[in-house]
Protein backbone atom coordinates (compact mmCIF):
# COMPACT_ATOMS: atom_id res chain seq x y z
CA UNK A 1 0.00 0.00 0.00
CA UNK A 2 1.31 3.44 -0.90
CA UNK A 3 1.88 6.14 1.71
CA UNK A 4 -1.10 8.08 0.31
CA UNK A 5 -3.27 4.94 0.55
CA UNK A 6 -2.17 4.37 4.15
CA UNK A 7 -2.97 7.98 5.11
CA UNK A 8 -6.37 7.72 3.41
CA UNK A 9 -7.11 4.47 5.26
CA UNK A 10 -6.12 6.03 8.60
CA UNK A 11 -8.29 9.06 7.89
CA UNK A 12 -11.31 6.91 7.05
CA UNK A 13 -10.99 4.86 10.20
CA UNK A 14 -10.40 7.76 12.54
CA UNK A 15 -13.22 9.87 11.11
CA UNK A 16 -16.60 9.30 12.73
CA UNK A 17 -19.98 10.80 12.01
CA UNK A 18 -21.74 12.39 14.95
CA UNK A 19 -25.27 11.30 15.66
CA UNK A 20 -28.13 13.49 16.85
CA UNK A 21 -30.45 12.33 19.61
CA UNK A 22 -33.85 13.91 20.02
CA UNK A 23 -34.92 14.32 23.63
CA UNK A 24 -38.66 13.74 24.10
CA UNK A 25 -41.12 14.12 26.93
CA UNK A 26 -44.15 11.93 27.57
CA UNK A 27 -45.50 14.16 30.34
CA UNK A 28 -47.58 17.31 30.31
CA UNK A 29 -47.12 20.47 32.29
CA UNK A 30 -45.57 23.90 32.33
CA UNK A 31 -41.82 24.10 31.77
CA UNK A 32 -40.38 25.45 35.01
CA UNK A 33 -36.81 25.73 33.81
CA UNK A 34 -34.59 24.99 30.82
CA UNK A 35 -31.07 24.40 32.11
CA UNK A 36 -29.25 24.31 28.76
CA UNK A 37 -28.86 26.45 25.68
CA UNK A 38 -27.76 25.82 22.13
CA UNK A 39 -24.05 24.98 21.91
CA UNK A 40 -23.77 23.88 25.54
CA UNK A 41 -21.93 20.64 26.34
CA UNK A 42 -23.90 18.09 28.39
CA UNK A 43 -23.05 14.87 30.21
CA UNK A 44 -25.19 11.76 30.72
CA UNK A 45 -27.60 12.31 33.61
CA UNK A 46 -27.32 16.10 33.48
CA UNK A 47 -30.63 17.90 34.06
CA UNK A 48 -31.84 19.55 30.86
CA UNK A 49 -35.46 20.58 31.46
CA UNK A 50 -37.71 20.66 34.53
CA UNK A 51 -41.47 20.36 33.97
CA UNK A 52 -43.91 21.24 36.77
CA UNK A 53 -45.25 17.89 38.11
CA UNK A 54 -48.24 19.43 39.95
CA UNK A 55 -50.82 17.69 37.74
CA UNK A 56 -49.31 14.32 38.62
CA UNK A 57 -48.67 15.11 42.29
CA UNK A 58 -52.32 16.09 42.89
CA UNK A 59 -53.60 12.98 41.12
CA UNK A 60 -51.17 10.82 43.15
CA UNK A 61 -52.46 12.36 46.39
CA UNK A 62 -56.05 11.60 45.35
CA UNK A 63 -55.17 8.04 44.42
CA UNK A 64 -53.24 7.48 47.65
CA UNK A 65 -56.35 8.47 49.63
CA UNK A 66 -58.43 6.10 47.49
CA UNK A 67 -55.79 3.41 48.01
CA UNK A 68 -56.01 3.82 51.79
CA UNK A 69 -59.81 3.40 51.67
CA UNK A 70 -59.42 0.35 49.45
CA UNK A 71 -56.84 -1.11 51.85
CA UNK A 72 -59.40 -0.88 54.69
CA UNK A 73 -62.08 -2.48 52.47
CA UNK A 74 -59.67 -5.25 51.52
CA UNK A 75 -58.73 -5.95 55.14
CA UNK A 76 -62.40 -6.26 56.13
CA UNK A 77 -63.28 -8.50 53.19
CA UNK A 78 -60.17 -10.61 53.82
CA UNK A 79 -61.14 -11.05 57.48
CA UNK A 80 -64.70 -12.05 56.44
CA UNK A 81 -63.41 -14.37 53.74
CA UNK A 82 -61.09 -16.17 56.20
CA UNK A 83 -64.06 -16.74 58.54
CA UNK A 84 -66.14 -18.14 55.68
CA UNK A 85 -63.19 -20.21 54.50
CA UNK A 86 -62.97 -21.77 57.95
CA UNK A 87 -66.72 -22.49 57.91
CA UNK A 88 -66.42 -24.05 54.47
CA UNK A 89 -63.52 -26.27 55.59
CA UNK A 90 -65.81 -27.60 58.37
CA UNK A 91 -68.66 -28.21 55.91
CA UNK A 92 -70.73 -25.48 57.56
CA UNK A 93 -70.98 -23.32 54.44
CA UNK A 94 -72.14 -24.15 50.93
CA UNK A 95 -69.66 -24.13 48.08
CA UNK A 96 -71.61 -21.37 46.29
CA UNK A 97 -71.46 -19.10 49.38
CA UNK A 98 -67.75 -19.83 49.78
CA UNK A 99 -67.09 -19.01 46.09
CA UNK A 100 -69.13 -15.81 46.42
CA UNK A 101 -66.89 -14.62 49.28
CA UNK A 102 -63.73 -15.79 47.54
CA UNK A 103 -64.78 -13.85 44.42
CA UNK A 104 -65.51 -10.74 46.51
CA UNK A 105 -62.08 -11.04 48.16
CA UNK A 106 -60.37 -11.49 44.77
CA UNK A 107 -62.18 -8.42 43.36
CA UNK A 108 -61.12 -6.25 46.32
CA UNK A 109 -57.52 -7.48 46.00
CA UNK A 110 -57.55 -6.64 42.28
CA UNK A 111 -58.92 -3.15 42.99
CA UNK A 112 -56.15 -2.59 45.52
CA UNK A 113 -53.47 -3.83 43.10
CA UNK A 114 -54.85 -1.59 40.33
CA UNK A 115 -54.78 1.51 42.53
CA UNK A 116 -51.27 0.68 43.71
CA UNK A 117 -50.11 0.34 40.10
CA UNK A 118 -51.69 3.71 39.25
CA UNK A 119 -49.82 5.38 42.14
CA UNK A 120 -46.56 3.79 40.98
CA UNK A 121 -47.21 4.99 37.41
CA UNK A 122 -47.69 8.54 38.70
CA UNK A 123 -44.46 8.27 40.70
CA UNK A 124 -42.70 7.40 37.44
CA UNK A 125 -44.35 10.26 35.54
CA UNK A 126 -43.27 12.67 38.29
CA UNK A 127 -39.69 11.45 37.81
CA UNK A 128 -40.07 11.96 34.04
CA UNK A 129 -40.79 15.66 34.67
CA UNK A 130 -37.05 16.06 35.20
CA UNK A 131 -35.59 15.53 31.73
CA UNK A 132 -31.97 14.37 31.85
CA UNK A 133 -29.44 13.88 29.09
CA UNK A 134 -29.02 10.25 28.05
CA UNK A 135 -25.69 10.95 26.34
CA UNK A 136 -22.57 13.10 26.32
CA UNK A 137 -22.93 15.72 23.62
CA UNK A 138 -23.63 19.27 22.54
CA UNK A 139 -27.10 20.82 22.47
CA UNK A 140 -27.96 21.47 18.82
CA UNK A 141 -31.54 22.79 19.11
CA UNK A 142 -33.84 23.83 21.95
CA UNK A 143 -37.56 23.82 21.18
CA UNK A 144 -38.90 24.81 24.61
CA UNK A 145 -38.58 27.72 26.98
CA UNK A 146 -39.60 28.49 30.53
CA UNK A 147 -43.32 29.02 31.00
CA UNK A 148 -44.65 27.11 27.99
CA UNK A 149 -47.03 24.17 28.32
CA UNK A 150 -45.84 20.85 26.91
CA UNK A 151 -48.22 18.01 26.24
CA UNK A 152 -46.12 14.93 25.63
CA UNK A 153 -48.92 12.70 26.89
CA UNK A 154 -50.80 13.02 23.58
CA UNK A 155 -47.78 12.51 21.32
CA UNK A 156 -44.21 12.42 22.64
CA UNK A 157 -42.98 16.00 22.25
CA UNK A 158 -39.44 16.84 21.15
CA UNK A 159 -37.84 19.23 23.63
CA UNK A 160 -34.34 19.52 22.25
CA UNK A 161 -31.66 17.81 20.15
CA UNK A 162 -28.24 16.78 21.46
CA UNK A 163 -25.41 15.81 19.13
CA UNK A 164 -23.18 13.03 20.46
CA UNK A 165 -19.52 13.79 20.99
Gyration radius from the chain CA atoms: 28
CB 126 within 8 A of CB 58: no
Say yes or no to pLDDT of 11 above 60: no
Residues 132/46, Cβ–Cβ less than 8 Å: yes
Beta strand ranges found along the chain (DSSP E): 20-25, 28-34, 41-42, 47-51, 130-132, 137-142, 149-151, 157-164
Q: Please name every residue paired with 28 in a beta bridge, in sequence order, or none if there are none.
A: 151
CA angle 106, 59, 119 (to 5 degrees): 40
Distance, CA of 63 to CA of 74 (rounded, Å): 16
Cβ atoms 98, 88 nearer than 8 A = yes
Sheet of 47-51, strands arranged across: 130-132, 47-51, 28-34, 149-151
- Per-chain mean pLDDT for the chain: 88
pLDDT tens by residue, 27-71: 999 999 999 999 999 999 999 999 999 999 999 999 999 999 999
The pLDDT score that the predictor gives to residue 106 is 97
Taking only the tens place, the pLDDT of each residue in 122-153 is: 999 999 999 999 999 999 999 999 999 999 87
Using N-to-C axis directions, what is the helix angle for 95-127 and 54-89, rounded to 10°?
160
What pLDDT is stored for residue 154 in this prediction?
A: 73
- Of the pLDDT bands very low, low, confident and very high (cuts 50, 70, 90), residue 17 is low
Amino acid sequence: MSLLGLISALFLFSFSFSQETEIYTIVKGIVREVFVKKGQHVRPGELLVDIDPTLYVKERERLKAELEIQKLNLEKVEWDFKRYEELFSRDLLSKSDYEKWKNKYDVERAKYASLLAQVEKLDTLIEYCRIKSPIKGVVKKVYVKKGIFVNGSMVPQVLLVVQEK
